[in-house]
Structure 1
Amino acid sequence: MKVRSDKYILVINCGSSSLKFSMHHFNDAELKISGTINGIGDRTSFFILEDNQGQETSHKKVNFDNMEGAVEAFIQWLESQPFSVTAIGHRLVQGGPDHRDPEIITTKLLKRLDEFIYLAPNHLPGELKTIKAFQNAFPRIPQVACFDTAFHKPLPLVVKHYPLPKTYQHKGLIKYGFHGLSYAYILQKLVAEDQTTLNKKIIIAHLGNGASMAAVENGKCLDTTMGLSPTGGLVMGTRSGDLDPGVIIFLLKQYHLTITELDDLLSKQSGMKAIAGISDMQELLAKETIKPKAALAIQIFCYHAKKQIGALAAALGGLDLLVFTGGIGANSPVIREHICRDLNFLGIELNQRANNKGQETISLNTSRVSVRCLKTNEELMIAKAVHHVLNHSIKH
């Protein structure tokens, strides 16, 4: 019989308008409860709790103007609960070129991360404020930073460096890649099922409001669509994805945009929202047949995803396995079908029935490339990393 500790690891995943959290048993990282405060900054937002089977146990309407208010309310709720929190793990989008692997959060690390806010101005400030709020509330509990760029650490030099003068590299101007915790979980799951996966050429498509893809060979990341920031690569909900540098120059010269205005335009006012006025894929699909711009936004999203699959397959020199994950990738049969259509030349043959049912394997038996549909679990990867880091620090 498995002996359970009554101590827990709290995982915090701070987004731009949501705060996701989960509680994991310290010894084996098994989930106890999870929850989300979503719609932060909107009039309609909710505090949702789920049990370890993903069943909703509480759904309350809340109203938070900003992330600081949501974090403060969550901390107050946590202090009223009977959980003995032993450690806290935080997902951080960026740690600069020298901070990739999970590490204990110290004053020195926070100071260093402050210096790299310019690399992720839409994410790091809120994440760092959240960490400091938890430090103030629980000063004796160790906290661990888990960076979303860790998975992409092995990127080869031919991929990592931009064709720009070397003088800019010392400021951290390299390709980082993101969604690393999601990719790490998917690869771990695949290898646990079949060790030969390590010998396969794989593309993992993490498709959500933020979307990216990673090419994996010999168990390591060979290339990825996001670069210096999470704005690059695929067309996303509110992000532009890759643009001709001339577009940036055009916007600066012709419209005299400030840096802040340009950042807001590319990160929050572009992508599918710019095309259709809607950034949510479920809403776009619901209006696809009645709103031409919604249909166009879906077509553009799928076209760019399809094109990137072709590019990454070329980088890999072939393809054995394509995995869809993320909120859209794991839950939208229609989008998976649109993306895989006409990819027969790569050896991809979709099983329509399996795809519509959301089964884990959605390719035909005759398909040379296996196509999978898997839910990701970034929080579990963070909990495992926290346990590993703390055990390692104790032993050393």
Structure 2
Amino acid sequence: MRILTLNAGSSSVKASLFVYRDQQWLCELTYQLSQLNDSPRVRWHWHDQVENNQLLSWKSLPLEMRHSAALSQVIGLVKDAGLLEEVAAVAHRVVHGGSQFARPVIVDKEIMQQLGALEPLAPLHQPYNLNLIRLAQEALPNVPQVACFDTMFHAGQPRMARLMAIPRKYLDQGVLRYGFHGLSYEYVYSRLQELAPRQADGRVIICHLGAGSSMCAIQHGQSVSTSMGFTALEGLPMGTRCGQIDPGVLVHLLREEQWDADQLERFLYKECGWLGLSGGISSDMVKLHQAGVPEAEEAIDYFVHACVKEIGSLTAVLRGLDAIVFTAGVGEHDAVIREKILAQLGWLGVDWDTDANQQHRHCAHKPTSRVGVWIIPTNEEMMLAEHGSRAIKALRLFK
């Protein structure tokens, strides 16, 4: 069985081709297109070949046609390899499943309408996720399209973790805390089970830190609380998203700046976070480290402060902590950020290994540590392949 996975953003397209062989998923093709709205650059390679890296001449190609062009490239690569007929399903990452979708679904016209209604809840992601599903349906009309949701992993959280103190009629309409990055949490937790099964069966906090950041408290394999809420704005400060903010600030800005809803949304999603707090220097943590100016340092320190505060909060929910895991772009690759966070967790019994942290080893704690410290690369694409496979088998579309 082969599964094609697709993950679309406003300025990027990621694709992978997986084959199930010898009781495991193997990635055959990796494709990543970035800077879609500017000077598109594509990187792709088959598992046994050298990576191709090229700048695309798409200046004359309208922006609205570039996702389609990217998908055509992916399909062309698979077809040229003689593998297109073996693709059993296309599995798509869809950020928001709302209250309707707690498991993957085969996408049809009715499902697309329901997912479209959720676009305002994830404006940075959902429209592009759904656009790529439409394009894939047109390009591969006989191949099932499976939607896999970032909210699925949190669907079984206790009700107290999902509520907000607002009138009940809005809760009944689905205004609840959903949480995100679920595909990442699911994969990383499965790896922790392999690396440290006893710790994994206890109280775990996974820190998914990157341009989009969140944390999740897991107990006995179940998500019990997470930092993101109704939308992917809540919680930690991110590349361009504000994270936790007093709602009174928004009322103030609406009145004083005379903004409409679209202006407020643009402000919250694209002008805040590390970018805003650094004075516009960058939404990229690497560039903030390199800037060497007080504004950049303050943005970094505020991010660390928010991370430590969230870890404390989630530890209280768990009533203790057995393991903390770092993943995603910053979590996996930024030893400085990890060190700044870990240095403030001694009260939890964290005794981290400086050399292991600098070298990004999986295990980053000393034998004396009461809490395991782990660095585990995420692999959302592999979870997409797994969920896509299960979905079509459940409907007997593939034996």
Which category describes the TM-score, using the shorter chain as reference length?
Answer: over 0.9
| Deviation at residue 119 of structure 1 after TM alignment | 1.9
The aligned residue for residue 220 of structure 2 is 218
Give the secondary structure class of the aligned counterpart of 2:385.
helix
Structure 1 segment 81-100 matched on structure 2, within 5 A: 81-82=80-81, 83-84=83-84, 85-100=87-102
* Alignment counterpart, residue 47 of structure 2, candidates 41, 44, 52: 52
Q: Give the letter aligned to residue 42 of structure 2.
A: F
User: What's the CA shift string for 1:209-267, capped at 9, x where partnerless?
Assistant: 00000000111011000001111100011000010110111111111111111011000
Instruction: Label 1:76 to 1:190 Cα distance change in 2 as closer, same or farther (>3 A).
Output: closer
* Alignment counterpart, residue 186 of structure 1, candidates 173, 183, 188: 188
Structure 1 segment 214-363 matched on structure 2, within 5 A: 214-276=216-278, 277=280, 278-287=282-291, 290-363=292-365
Note the aligned Cα RMSD (angstroms).
1.7
| Deviation at residue 176 of structure 1 after TM alignment | 0.4
Determine if the alignment matches structure 1 residue 75 to structure 2 residue 72: yes
Q: Is the 8 A contact 1:72 1:133 kept in 2?
A: no
Give the secondary structure class of the aligned counterpart of 1:323.
strand
* Alignment counterpart, residue 31 of structure 2, candidates 29, 32, 35: 35
Instruction: Label 1:270 to 1:56 Cα distance change in 2 as closer, same or farther (>3 A).
Output: farther
| Deviation at residue 161 of structure 1 after TM alignment | 0.9
User: What's the CA shift string for 1:10-55, capped at 9, x where partnerless?
Assistant: 100112321111010155431101010001112x3311013437x7
Give the secondary structure class of the aligned counterpart of 1:202.
strand
CA distance in 2, matches of 1:392, 1:302: 43
Q: Give the letter aligned to residue 275 of structure 1.
A: L
Structure 1 segment 4-153 matched on structure 2, within 5 A: 8-26=2-20, 28-42=24-38, 44-52=39-47, 57-62=51-56, 63=58, 66=63, 68-79=65-76, 81-82=80-81, 83-84=83-84, 85-153=87-155
CA distance in 2, matches of 1:376, 1:298: 23
| Deviation at residue 111 of structure 1 after TM alignment | 1.3
* Count of aligned residue pairs for this structure pair: 386
| Deviation at residue 122 of structure 1 after TM alignment | 2.5
TM-score, length-normalised on structure 2? 0.93
Question: Larger deviation: 359-368 or 63-72?
Answer: 63-72
TM-score, length-normalised on structure 1? 0.93
Q: Percent sequence identity over matched residues?
A: 34
Question: Larger deviation: 178-187 or 294-303?
Answer: 294-303
Structure 1: stretches of 5+ with no match in the other structure: 1-6
Instruction: Label 1:355 to 1:165 Cα distance change in 2 as closer, same or farther (>3 A).
Output: same
CA distance in 1, matches of 2:243, 2:303: 10
CA distance in 2, matches of 1:87, 1:175: 31
CA distance in 2, matches of 1:298, 1:81: 45
Question: Larger deviation: 380-389 or 341-350?
Answer: 341-350
Give the secondary structure class of the aligned counterpart of 1:50.
strand
Give the secondary structure class of the aligned counterpart of 1:239.
coil
Structure 2: stretches of 5+ with no match in the other structure: none
